[in-house]
Chains A and B, each alone.
Chain A
């Protein structure tokens, strides 16, 4: 099955040392020896993560000019700017594995790379912005808090940095939701509708169930992930149900019930057929998102050219003999 030649004795020894370091909870740094598969899985996972931050700006950017107040607009601008920064942190961490950022961005723009399926859903009302902050950033925090302890140093450090900033995203979303939930019947209906539309796609963010997750075993063994997709999904549900109750909103799952024995909220079956559709490019907004990214990249070309020309001019100026 393997496409690689059998490992040389030298490589087997290095692999054994690597596994021992992972088991001892040590951190792997860019220049350390690592199995090719570890490097490959990290590049795949980290670049997907970076792409998700970048594409994640689009659904929210849609509402910056239509925010209901200056305060809301200012907060949303800051949040979207953070997401650009988060994408850059993770691209930078991915580059330490010997891959160029230009190459990763090219993979995104040509549609070769995957990113989180959640960003392929439309933001129909202002309430969606609140629910995205509450649900989507809430789910991201559950994921990223664990990734902050990942075995690969640059990834873990990028996650620590991101987690510090992500809490503001969730709170600004939850504040919007709480405000609307406390508003007119129309506002309550609007925010309940947003909750109904975003709940299931958010649960899909944690990825396929453990039994169908092709990469989970490797990532868990190498301590890139420390909990399975299903464990993290459960943690998110347990946290969020109470938050929904606090603002008197319902979650669209008739099977949601508290199990006093396990102390967990049981929830219904996720529509994995929908997940597969969206992941494979057929969600409501996949084409629109990529078209927007490509347009932004092309329309930004003049900025990159101007910066390069400016740098060149400065260089020539400083090299010129003083008159």
Chain B
């Protein structure tokens, strides 16, 4: 985690942080973009200045980009295919008596 916060001298710029914003109370945080900043506190301020200039944000998260672990596109098939052949996980799979409200 600390490694992600070290300035990246290779490109002579501050580390990258991913920004997630929440549009209103109860909404999920969504990825908005990224900012460069030397530390978390400044990352948060930069994120506010760049992604929340109009009162359309009530909460913001910043995460060092290097700390994010993501599935890779090449594995998309095999990685998600355990869920591909399980129609019984969907309500449409089941027959119920006609004319009854099930939900």
Report B62 CB to chain A, min CB distance, Å: 13
Given the interface pairs A32-B73, A165-B54, the reply to whether A158 lies near B33 with Cβ below 8 Å is yes
Q: Which residues of A contact B12 (CB under 8 A)?
A: 102
Given the interface pairs A31-B70, A308-B7, A311-B42, the reply to whether A102 lies near B13 with Cβ below 8 Å is yes
A33 at the interface (CB under 8 A from B): yes
* Cα distance A89–B35 in the bound complex, in angstroms: 9
Q: Which of B11, B14, B33, B38 contacts A92 (CB 8 A)?
A: B33
Near B by CB (< 8 A), chain A positions 80-135 give 81-82, 85, 88-89, 92-93, 95, 100-103
Q: Is the CB of B42 within 8 A of A307?
A: yes
Q: Is the CB of A92 within 8 A of B39?
A: no
Q: Which residues of B contact A33 (CB under 8 A)?
A: 73-74
A182 at the interface (CB under 8 A from B): no
* Cα distance A307–B45 in the bound complex, in angstroms: 12
A314 at the interface (CB under 8 A from B): yes
Chain A binding surface SS class: helix
Near B by CB (< 8 A), chain A positions 288-310 give 307-308, 310
B53 at the interface (CB under 8 A from A): yes
B25-36 CB mask vs A (1 if < 8 Å, else 0) is 000000011111
Given the interface pairs A95-B34, A308-B38, the reply to whether A101 lies near B73 with Cβ below 8 Å is no
Q: Which residues of B contact A31 (CB under 8 A)?
A: 70, 72-73
Q: Is the CB of B36 within 8 A of A101?
A: yes
Q: Which residues of A contact B33 (CB under 8 A)?
A: 88-89, 92-93, 157-158, 161
Report A167 CB to chain B, min CB distance, Å: 12
A309 to chain B: closest residue by CB: B38
Report A48 CB to chain B, min CB distance, Å: 19
Given the interface pairs A82-B53, A95-B34, the reply to whether A103 lies near B42 with Cβ below 8 Å is no
13 A–B contacts, CB within 8 A, in A order: A33-B73, A81-B53, A85-B49, A89-B50, A95-B16, A95-B34, A101-B36, A307-B14, A307-B38, A310-B38, A310-B39, A311-B37, A311-B39
Residues of A bordering B, CB below 8 Å: 29, 31-33, 78, 81-82, 85, 88-89, 92-93, 95, 100-103, 157-158, 161, 165, 307-308, 310-312, 314-315
The 8 closest A-B pairs by CB, nearest first: A311-B38, A311-B39, A100-B11, A102-B13, A92-B33, A92-B34, A308-B38, A32-B73
